[in-house]
Amino acid sequence: MKQIDIQVKQEFPLTIKRLGINGEGVGYFKKQVVFVPGALPGEEIVAEVTDVRPNFAQAKIKTIRKPSPDRVEAPCPVYEACGGCQLQHVTYEQQLAFKKDLIHQAIERHVKDLLDVPVKNTIGMEDPWHYRNKSQFQTEKKGKKVVAGLYSMNSHQLVDIKECIVQRKETNKATQVVRKQLEKLEIPIYNERTKNGVVRTIVTRVGVETGEVQIVLVTATDDLPNKEKLIRNLETKMPEVKSIMQNVNPTSTSVIFGKKTILLSGKETIAEKMNEFTYHLSARAFFQLNPTQTIKLYDEVKKAADMTGKEKLVDAYCGSGTIGLWLSKGASEIRGMDVVKESILDARRNAEQHGVKNFDYQTGTAEEWMFKWQKDGFKPDVVVVDPPRTGLDEKLISTILAVKPKTFVYTSCNPSTLAKDLKLLSKAYKVEYIQPVDMFPQTSQVESVTKLVLK
């Protein structure tokens, strides 16, 4: 492939046309695409090239000649270093418009046949700060100090984060208390380079409505030095902590959790309430990170599923059964599956606790169980999915097209994989509409609910 005619460190004027999928500004120089983090549509800037690839270049802002009226001062002191948020420098109203546009862009890029599908306005938050109920901060030893934070964008530099302004105050507090105790008790911190040490990650989660806090220490070894003293100190300093767990991950990987989880103190789960439902969450169980918006998201799923009480429902990628439970009053029977065994145990417990009579939750893949159930004579009327960022497994798409539920509701956290999947699903399904929901204000991520009806 021919190298593009742009050099590293080259400077040139650039007009920004739109925002890209990671929230970066997109402009064109000599007909080549240039991505500029922090630049906004309509801005005229001087860009300095930082990297050149075969079909695009990356640049940084040298100066802004004409700023966008949507530009604001980012309130976070480590915003540019951290990379956890991408849109703090944009007005919230414009963030919502951008997220709707992201879905349009993905459809235009991957499936032009669906350009007429209605994409509704993004459902936002009244207060788009301090909303995340869970944090996963890596640890590092710097001299005698223990720091906890996130890795800087595209690097292995750990940014020390004392207070994250998109995290709940409870998780911020818990992380800092744990960090100070690790430092005080001189508990060895894992070193990625030498592979020595113990504590890798501090994971904290809060049940926003219950106030219960869970701490999970992810360690490289089963052995946790000074364990008893650490537990005692954490319990004394934070009576709100109801669960202290240790998760062991000895592998050299960027995946946070290992397979082994040990109860150190308190309960194995904490409780979270949303409307009339109480959910029990174990250390590795998936649960939405923004409970306020989750209620809006699940209500959109319920609206799209449009059930009368007679329908058989399959909740694929069910996690701890949250979506299925939300729709349970409209279903005559619920079945679900997930590859994480602990999530399925949580799903069963949650269903029993809420008096759901007709349910079946199994560990395994959606395609495996849907075919098995079909052979046993079970045919779902409605299937709801909430897959990871990679989208639907091709085998699952084939299964959906074979099983042919009347209604298919697709909750997505990635417009690109959503568009690719819709291209395949639209052979048998009419795409009624897409409803974006802002689950992660200040970031470039967008969640959406798509309603598909069998043709």
Q: Which residues are catalytic?
A: 413
What are the beta bridge partners of residue 119? 434
Neighbours of 78 (CB within 10 A): 20
Burial code of 136-162, b = ≥16 C-beta within 10 A, e = fewer?
bbbbbbeeeebbbbbbbeeeeebbbbe
Minimal CA–CA distance to 194: which of 126, 252, 261, 133? 252
Minimal CA–CA distance to 447: which of 290, 278, 225? 290
Cβ(335)–Cβ(361) under 8 Å? yes
Distance CA 440, CA 312 (A): 32
Distance CA 346, CA 338 (A): 11
Provide Rg for the chain, Cα atoms: 23
Minimal CA–CA distance to 38: which of 1, 2, 73? 73
Amino acid of residue 313: L
Cβ(420)–Cβ(391) under 8 Å? yes
93 exposed, middle or buried (CB, 10 Å; 0-12, 13-18, 19+)?
A: exposed
349 exposed, middle or buried (CB, 10 Å; 0-12, 13-18, 19+)?
A: middle
Distance CA 334, CA 378 (A): 11
Distance CA 340, CA 440 (A): 24
What's the token pair of residue 228? 């008893």
| Residues in CB range of 272: below 8 A, 6 or more apart | 133, 207, 208, 209, 210, 212, 278, 279, 281, 287, 291
